[in-house]
Amino acid sequence: MVQTKSNVIFGHGSSVGRVRDHNEDYHRVKTFLSGRNAVHFFAVADGMGGAAAGERASKTAIEVVSKAVSDYVDFTSAGNKAIPLDKALERALVAANKRINREALENPEYSGMGTTITVCIAQERQLIYGHVGDSRAYLIRGGEISQVTRDHSWVGFQVEHGILTAEEAQNHPNRNQLMRALGTRAEVLVDIGVVPIKVGDIFLLSSDGLHGFVEDNEFLEELSRRALNLSSAVDYFIGMANSRGGLDNITCIIAQVVA
């Protein structure tokens, strides 16, 4: 029997919050086996569209992408040549966009549905990410925190171009206005990137119901503790967001490279 090596540990969780009556966030943590190595898949999606539409959009997006990555790992593990994984992830996100957009056009009850999505795939010594919307992925390394993804939102654009400060964006009335989402249009532009990873690196994925209420320095302080328990850290951050109003659904994934 071949023993698969896993160099990543993780914790994850989600909460409906204290205002919404249902959870339109959806997330998935999954490990795919690739020979002697493990491929770790992490994804957070924040749906929109009202009624059951937002829930359907976020779940559909992650299911389509997760299945595509699973098929890719199986295909390449069998010794077949394929396009690079970052390109395959981009195609999967485009396919998810088409699926959601088509369902919205064909079913009046799903009209206008869409979702954000942030996907991170840890493979050996690199992290591949794909992203649309204002969910986020952070990297904590060497006592510093940095945002890996860009917010595809109105306030994100303003901050990026120096029109608003990050502090002004935090409470701006247009902070929830997305400029890019999955499924709301027939075509979508996807952000794709590859980040080298090192032992000790921590990655945090969140919906805006979390990072909208917890500051970056608060993430850093908790995740810099020596005896870090990832599941407890997830619960701590979700509890913090709820204690500050829980005005939105809250989702968090934390992964750490340990070997």
User: So what's the pLDDT on residue 34?
Assistant: 86
For 193, the domain range is 8-257
- Report pLDDT digits (tens) over 221-251: 999 987 899 999 999 999 999 999 999 999 9
The pTM of the full predicted model, rounded to 2 decimals, is 0.93
In a domain, residue 3? The reply is no
- Report pLDDT digits (tens) over 103-153: 999 999 999 999 999 999 999 899 999 999 999 999 999 999 999 999 998
User: So what's the pLDDT on residue 3?
Assistant: 42
27: domain CATH number is: 3.60.40.10
In a domain, residue 76? The reply is yes
CA dist 52 → 20, 58, 67, 143, 168 (Å)? 13, 10, 22, 41, 32
User: So what's the pLDDT on residue 113?
Assistant: 96
Average pLDDT, the chain: 92
- Report pLDDT digits (tens) over 72-111: 999 999 999 999 999 999 999 999 999 999 999 999 999 9
Alpha carbon distance 124, 209 (integer Å): 31
In a domain, residue 222? The reply is yes
First to last CA, the chain: 22
